[in-house]
Amino acid sequence: MADTQPIGRRTTVIGLDLGGSSIKAGLFANENSAPVRNLVMPTPAHEGRESLLGALIAAVGALCPDGLSDVGAIGIGTPGLIDDSGVIHGPAVNLSAWQGTSLSGEVTERLGVPCVAGNDGSFAALAEARARDVDNLLFVSWGTGIGGGIVCGGRLVTGHLGMAGEIGHVCVDPAGPVCGCGQRGCLERFAGAPELVGAYHARGGAGDVSSFPGLALRYRVGDPVAKAVMEAAAVMIARVVGAAMSLLAPGTVVIGGGVAEAIPELPGMVARALTRCSFPYLFEQCRVEPSRLGNHAGMTGAAETARDLSGRRA
């Protein structure tokens, strides 16, 4: 499927955000920060590597039914520990059989378009930082899992083998439940969306809640158990963010992801909890904000990175 058109003449890039529940995909014109076309598809999270790659390829095909001749590059954000060459080294807790995949290489080979892949939280952090024109930012993606991203001095901090920013796998209780990453008591095991539903039932919630949207609905109608669950989760998030603030001193902390989008009060709840679990002076110099890009943050950051790649190749 290789295309011979010079890359400098191509006018679009694609951003893909592979999440534990859905794939968000957008087609972006080179000069625009908003997608000209976008879609959402379910993630075959537990069907293995080939199904996941096939779903990404299908999302690209759905975005560009007339072919990829105008596409300069593709960016893909994925959960997991992924290095700068696009190889996934560690387990992606919410995706089966993903470790070891050369994501950039596989997509480039199958579509004939240059591809750059990285951690989804890191790409979202980059997009949120550029949307605000700030150089130092900590992003927390609060959804099915909990991820993060760090921008320092205007550049992504990816760390060794792309492992920086895994805020969901900070241990908050050494005696807590075993996490898919292998350790006990990770933040994600207390505040990820499925765990919040479990906490609602463990606290005796009376609502018919089988998934997080149901819990969010109970919260919005004033269910006291749902409110208690979310307040406790906000405190847990704040404890980890407070520790990260002491290490990184970001000027901005952004709370995004599907959980935060469903309950807009959550960033404010985290900010209030931070007054009790962060270095006071650092907190006073820092803004805690909701995402500006919402569910588009990950795919927008992936597209931004693809645009950077396309520009370098041109």
Are residues 64 and 140 located together in one domain of the fold? no
Residue 136 lies in a domain: yes
Total number of domains constituting the chain: 2
Residue 1 lies in a domain: no
Residue 18 lies in a domain: yes
Which of 5-19, 22-36, 184-198, 224-238 shows the lowest mean pLDDT across its residues? 5-19
What is the pLDDT, as a whole number, of residue 160? 87
48 backbone dihedrals φ, ψ, rounded to 5°: 95, 175
Are residues 130 and 112 located together in one domain of the fold? no
**Burial profile 198-224: b = 16 or more Cβ within 10 angstroms, e = fewer:** bbbeeeebebebeebeebbebbeeebe
Are residues 178 and 142 located together in one domain of the fold? yes
Pair of tokens at residue 83:
């290095």
Are residues 181 and 234 located together in one domain of the fold? yes
Q: What is the pLDDT of residues 120-138, one digit of tens each?
A: 999 999 999 999 999 999 9
Pair of tokens at residue 294:
């919402």
pTM of the model: 0.89
Q: Is 305 exposed, middle or buried (0-12, 13-18, 19+ CB in 10 A)?
A: buried
What is the pLDDT, as a whole number, of residue 9? 57
Are residues 163 and 286 located together in one domain of the fold? yes
Are residues 288 and 159 located together in one domain of the fold? yes
Neighbouring-strand partners of residue 290: 255
Pair of tokens at residue 10:
């191509």
Q: What is the pLDDT of residues 50-85, one digit of tens each?
A: 999 999 999 999 999 999 999 999 999 998 889 888
Are residues 131 and 247 located together in one domain of the fold? yes
Mean pLDDT throughout 247-258?
Answer: 95
* Long-range CB contact pairs, 172-177, < 8 A, 24+: 172/236, 172/239, 172/240
Closest CA to 93 of 105, 83, 78, 75: 78
The CATH number given to whatever domain includes residue 13 is 3.30.420.40
Q: Range of 217's domain?
A: 124-292
Are residues 180 and 287 located together in one domain of the fold? yes
Residue 278 lies in a domain: yes
Q: What is the pLDDT of residues 192-211, one digit of tens each?
A: 999 999 999 999 999 899 99
Residue 2 lies in a domain: no
Are residues 165 and 54 located together in one domain of the fold? no
Give the Cα separation of 295 and 140 in Å (integer).
13
Give the Cα separation of 118 and 110 in Å (integer).
18
Are residues 215 and 261 located together in one domain of the fold? yes
